[in-house]
Amino acid sequence: MKLFLKTLIVVSILSVSTGFVRNWSLSIDLFVSFGAFFLATWYFTNKVKSINTLLLLLVNILLINVVVTYLLDGKLPLLGLPNILCMIAGTLTGYFFYTAAKKVHKIITLLLGAITCISLYATHEKWVHYLNFGNISGSVAEPGISDVRFYNKQGETINATDYTSKIAILDFWNRGCLVCYQKFPKLQQLYNKYKSDPRIVIQAVNIPLEGDNAGIAFDIVEQKGYTFPVIIGANNADSIFQINVYPTVILINNGKIIYRGGIEPAMAVVEDLLR
């Protein structure tokens, strides 16, 4: 029972700690999780060299990160699945590395663990993209939307039909979205590159939250030093464009939506369209 409680406490602390890292960087979190659980398993196996140590750690990883999360959120933690798999990989690697009798077996164990973690890192962004947008590449073929209006800082109305003859990159965001702010430098980079190209329109579409003051979106972007145009979505623009997660980048070409996803893949799509 003591070993169970000790492993439960350590797994809980590590899971919460890596969660904070995840808020800062989803990808780095994978390596931190692997390393933290590798060391924790090494420590416990050194204290109690038994298969029970491994089993208790694995059970508590699933208990804290799957069962408890499901009970609190009412849904399975699919977004955190790569992180959970890295925890498990770190635990298995730590246990078999410590218990391996031969040096060559230790090296093989480390290599297998590293390959697993790197593989999860390589596919992580695609997994997140699939969960958020229902696709991996972002490529879609959706009909154009005409009954949507936006307005700019000057109060001028912009209609979705204004994008018919242009390539339009619309970055939907809201004031409470931390990731949105993290992606703004990419949007600024894209704007700097194409702001003089008459074929392209790049705009950050703010979806107001309840209680937002008029003009707060314009002030936020200006205070952060960005120069890309900001427009405000009116008449349920987020619902009409089916925006379920922020940020979401919509790319319109010839009046039709051809891309739905993150800013990085969108940059490559724009380059292909202009070739």
My answer on whether omega of the bond before 247 falls inside 30° of 0, hence cis, is yes
What domains sit in the chain, N to C, each tagged with a CATH number? 2-133 (no CATH), 139-274 (3.40.30.10)
| 149 φ/ψ angles, rounded to the nearest 5 degrees | -125, 150
Secondary structure of residue 144 in the 3-state scheme: coil
The percentage of the chain sitting over the pLDDT mark of 90, rounded to a whole number, equals: 52
**Residues whose CB is less than 8 angstroms from the CB of residue 208 and which lie 6 or more positions away in sequence, other chains included:** 174, 175, 217, 232, 233
Report the C-alpha gap between 49 and 59 in whole angstroms: 17
Indicate whether 192 pLDDT > 70.
yes
Encode pLDDT of 133-150 as tens digits: 888 888 888 887 767 889
Supply the pTM of this predicted model: 0.75
pLDDT-derived band at 117, boundaries 50, 70, 90: very high
Nearest to 105 by CA among 93, 117, 114: 93
Q: What pLDDT was estimated at residue 105?
A: 94
How many angstroms separate the Cα of 1 from the Cα of each of 8, 33, 56, 139? 10, 25, 10, 52
Is-contact 61 37, C-beta < 8 A? yes
- Predicted confidence at residue 166, as pLDDT, reads 87
Ranking 19-33, 43-57, 59-73 by mean pLDDT, the lowest is: 19-33
